[in-house]
């Protein structure tokens, strides 16, 4: 007979690679928990990405606004710089206008000779390079925006108010007039237009009478 060792009970043999029975529910719960954890992590990443995109959009808008403001500032500074330059040149040339008037009178009287002629022509050339332009001619229609009438008369040979003499030429820089042309103007002789109209009507009466007598123009 075989003797049994007291205090020990025989246990069924368990394969070496097998896990205990309670390991199976634990593994199942881990598998169920894993997808839930991955979904939460993905949602967090999406939220962070949205925040980054929002911040990037705001910074981009700020940068575009700053760039537009800088471009406007540059244009404003350039416009002001040009305006200041034009005003400075206009003020300088305005002070030289009496000298140019003297040169013009000397030229009309034949006194512009020798070294004085050379200096005068150099001064006129420099003024022209700075943008000074002279205007005002006899026979042009009177324009109160660029002409200043100092003398007034009537003339039978004009059909509108006309500049008949240039007393002082006008000057402009670009589109800016720095001195109007001072002129003598002539208007049509009062009654001259009426007389011309009456003369035209009288000249047309015989022709009209001829038409009536002949029965009007022939029909084709």
**CATH code, 133-205:** 2.30.22.10
Instruction: Using pLDDT thresholds of 50, 70 and 90, give the confidence band for residue 143.
Output: very high
Look at 6-20, 72-86, 143-157 and tell me which has the smallest mean pLDDT.
6-20
Determine contact, residues 168/148, Cβ cutoff 8 Å. Answer: no
CA-to-CA distance for 95 and 99, rounded, in angstroms? Answer: 8
Give me the helix-helix angle, 23-108 and 114-129, nearest 10°. Answer: 160
Place of tokens 């330059």: 85
Determine contact, residues 185/161, Cβ cutoff 8 Å. Answer: yes
Tens of pLDDT, residue by residue over 31-71, are: 555 555 577 778 888 888 888 998 999 999 999 999 999 99
Nearest in space to 100 (alpha carbons), one of 52, 132, 60, 140: 132
Q: How far is CA 172 from CA 94, 133, 134, 154, in A?
A: 10, 5, 7, 29
Nearest in space to 90 (alpha carbons), one of 175, 158, 164: 175
- Can you tell me the mean pLDDT for 130-148? 94
Domain ranges for the chain: 40-130, 133-205
Q: Assess whether pLDDT exceeds 70 at residue 155.
A: yes
212 or 10, which is more confident: 10
Cβ of 90: how many Cβ atoms within 10 Å?
Answer: 19
Answer yes or no: pTM beyond 0.85: no
CA-to-CA distance for 108 and 97, rounded, in angstroms? Answer: 17
Tens of pLDDT, residue by residue over 165-189, are: 999 999 999 888 999 999 999 999 8
CA-to-CA distance for 159 and 189, rounded, in angstroms? Answer: 9
The predicted structure's pLDDT at residue 72 = 94
């Amino acid at each position: 007979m075989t003797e049994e060792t007291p205090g020990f009970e025989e246990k069924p043999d368990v394969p070496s690679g097998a896990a205990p029975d309670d390991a199976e529910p634990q593994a199942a719960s881990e598998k169920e928990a894993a997808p839930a954890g991955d979904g939460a992590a993905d949602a967090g990443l999406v939220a962070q990405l949205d925040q980054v995109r929002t911040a990037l959009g705001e910074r981009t808008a700020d940068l575009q606004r700053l760039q537009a403001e800088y471009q406007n500032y540059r244009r404003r500074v350039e416009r002001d710089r040009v305006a200041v330059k034009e005003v400075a040149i206009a003020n300088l040339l305005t002070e030289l206008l009496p000298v140019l008037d003297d040169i013009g009178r000397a030229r009309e009287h034949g006194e512009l000779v020798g070294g004085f002629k050379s200096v005068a022509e150099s001064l006129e050339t420099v003024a022209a390079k700075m943008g000074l332009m002279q205007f005002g001619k006899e026979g042009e229609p009177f324009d109160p925006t660029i002409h200043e009438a100092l003398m007034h008369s009537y003339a039978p040979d004009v059909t509108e108010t006309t500049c008949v003499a240039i007393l002082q030429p006008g000057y402009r820089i670009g589109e800016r007039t720095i001195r109007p042309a001072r002129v003598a103007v002539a208007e049509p002789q009062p009654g001259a237009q009426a007389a011309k109209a009456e003369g035209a009507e009288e000249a047309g009466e015989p022709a009209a009478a001829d038409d009536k007598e002949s029965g009007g123009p022939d029909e084709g």
